[in-house]
Structure 1
Amino acid sequence: MINHDGTAAVRPSTLAWVGRHLAAGERIVGAEALHGGITAEMRALTIGTPDGGARELVLRTFVDVADAEDWLNREAGALTECAGTGVPAPRLVAVDPTAAHCEYPSLLMTRLAGRTVIDDEGVEARVPLLARQLLAIHALRPVEQPREYVALTTADTVVIPQCADASAWAAAIDVIRRPAPPYEGRFLHRDFHPGNVLFDVPPARPADARITGVVDWAAASWGPADLDVAHCSTALALLHGPEWGLRFTEAYEEAGGVLAADAGERLYWLVRSGLAASEEVGAVSRPWREAGRTELTTRAVEERLDAYVTALMDASA
């Protein structure tokens, strides 16, 4: 069992499974836990090559997760669809969605260059990049259409923050009581936000940032472009302030993206994603604090969410 840093132990049958998918003469020489995920264990595996060099793969493992098979099948399908398209997704190496060979359901993929960037500095340059990248994802025409999107939040499951503007939230909840608007389907990442995008940012020139990868495709779905845009808008609002959530919608359209023409339909998707965040503020904000944004306490993020939902409702009045 490899235990490179005390936390990245890879289980024996999983090690054997990974080994069967390496090239002749390659071997696993190290493992390192990757942080930032919420539901899966992520590890970078260092692979020694016959010429004395090394390369890296990423192992995603779902431990005691009920929907692991579905998520891994969707991720494998999405990575296959992205291959050769110009969308910078990892390359699928192998997948064991039912744990037929591994201790737990697992997926093996290549590791992309770059890092996640969630600092406020340079956000004005990154938002247009995010918008253009999401538009490129929506332009994909998959050979096999993924499953329809699932919206788990309902009007009855919204968690209203203690600091909330009660009237604004009541109006927002009424919005999602309506039936979902009709839409033209698109290939969705479904969890597109700064934490799932890798950047190369020159230290002295943050404005010259470029995207090097998009990761975590386990929720890939078919649905309205508005839903992906709204999800990223909410994340930006919580990370950088409500104004950046509102700005992302504009950036997507400036990049050539098409959203719902009807203002009420557009509001539905934006509000639904904002309210969905109310149920997982603690889980979402914890990785941000671990990554250095210590000021983003659960209370601070709840306050930003309230400001964002209120801003959406004020704009629709």
Structure 2
Amino acid sequence: MSFDGQEWEATRAWVAKQLPEGRSVLNWADLRGGWTSEMRRLTLDDGTGLVLRSFVRPFFRQHAPGLLNREATILTVLAPYDDIPTPHLHAVDPTAELTDHPSLLMSLLRGSVRVEEDADLEARLDLLAGQLARIHAVVPATSEERPRTYQAWTSAERVRTPGGPLWERAVDVIRREAPPYEGCFLHRDFHPGNVLFTGTGAGEGEGAGEGLRISGVVDWVETSWGPADLDVAHCSTAVALLYGAEYGLGFRERYEARDGRRLAADRAHLYWRLLDALAYAPDAEKLAVPWRELGRTDLTPVVLGARLEAYVGGLVERYA
């Protein structure tokens, strides 16, 4: 990505107008790991860090007004919640009225995205489960602050699978109507790639060592109202693909052990888990691209396809 040239002239001017008086951007750097938008870290001349989100790809640019307005609203709603670390909203231009591309400017949070397999993995998964439970406890003060009803990201008619009895059985599960549910506040895209970690025993931003904790939860453009099972399902799918099916299958228990909301009974819960997992069949390439940029070059289509199949098989065996 480049931030030079005429394509970004209006955006640079817009950013400059949002800065405190006397401040200027000293440098900027591309942030890795995104899929829907281009992300940049801006460092001001006083050392302050900001993040600029820009929707450039035509499909996402088309949907940018809804996505960015939603994120701006949610960041405002969550600002008082000390146990949900979110960026501070500085400015938003959802229709690119003043910028080259629909954009949102927010504060930079300390910490690092952690997707590797190492000694901290179990601790990180426990922290993820606890953080998700706290997100689900958010109660919007007004109906205007309540996010939109969730949208399914696949359907029985749209799923692409490798074929075979297991996949046919899994697709049949989501062919029926969605089970009834008690709605709650959902991040809707909660997974290790959207969470920042830091640790007091490590250098700033390394997100490891003694005192490991979550220092930020980002990417609130898909925030929705729906069953807690759906957020648990989404994080479980990502965890299964990153670390192996057994980790994804066990994420529900981690969530429930940390005062998460009551989840659905077996077959209803299976519906939500498969509704998410099948959105990434056959090989989860959509998720893999940003993960490889973060160093997980081992996550080839073959590896991810095998993990997804093992995870789907484990879900069917456990909950069907």
The answer to whether 1:83 aligns with 2:79 is: yes
Contact 2:283 2:308 (8 Å CA) reproduced: no
Distance in 2, Cα, partners of 1:160 & 1:14: 41
Contact 1:7 1:32 (8 Å CA) reproduced: no
Deviation at 1:267, TM superposition (A): 0.9
Report what 2:105 is aligned to: 108
Equivalent positions of 1:21-170 (< 5 A) are: 21-48=18-45, 53-63=46-56, 64=58, 65-86=61-82, 87-121=84-118, 122-143=120-141, 144-161=145-162, 166-170=164-168
Contact 2:283 2:302 (8 Å CA) reproduced: no
Contact 1:72 1:218 (8 Å CA) reproduced: yes
For 2:29, what is the secondary structure of its paired residue?
Answer: strand
Moved more, 139-148 or 203-212: 203-212
Note closer, same or farther for the CA distance 1:191–1:280 as it changes in structure 2 (3 Å cut): farther
How many residue pairs get aligned? The number is 305
Amino acid at match of 1:7: S
Percent of aligned pairs sharing the same letter: 49
Report what 2:14 is aligned to: 17
Q: Tell me how large the CA RMSD over aligned residues is.
A: 1.7
Distance in 1, Cα, partners of 2:33 & 2:77: 25
Q: Gaps (5+ residues) in structure 1?
A: 1-5
Distance in 1, Cα, partners of 2:109 & 2:202: 19
TM, length-normalised to structure 1: 0.92
Distance in 1, Cα, partners of 2:254 & 2:88: 28
Report what 1:175 is aligned to: 173
Report what 2:290 is aligned to: 287
Contact 1:89 1:215 (8 Å CA) reproduced: yes
Distance in 2, Cα, partners of 1:291 & 1:263: 35
Report what 1:269 is aligned to: 272
Task: Encode CA deviations 1:209-267: one digit per residue, 9 max, x unaligned.
Answer: 21000011111111111100100000000000001101111000000112334211111
Moved more, 93-102 or 201-210: 201-210
Deviation at 1:22, TM superposition (A): 1.1
| Aligned counterpart for 2:234 among listed residues 231, 238, 251 | 231
Contact 2:229 2:264 (8 Å CA) reproduced: no
Report what 1:297 is aligned to: 300
Equivalent positions of 1:238-253 (< 5 A) are: 238-253=241-256
TM, length-normalised to structure 2: 0.91
Q: Gaps (5+ residues) in structure 2?
A: none
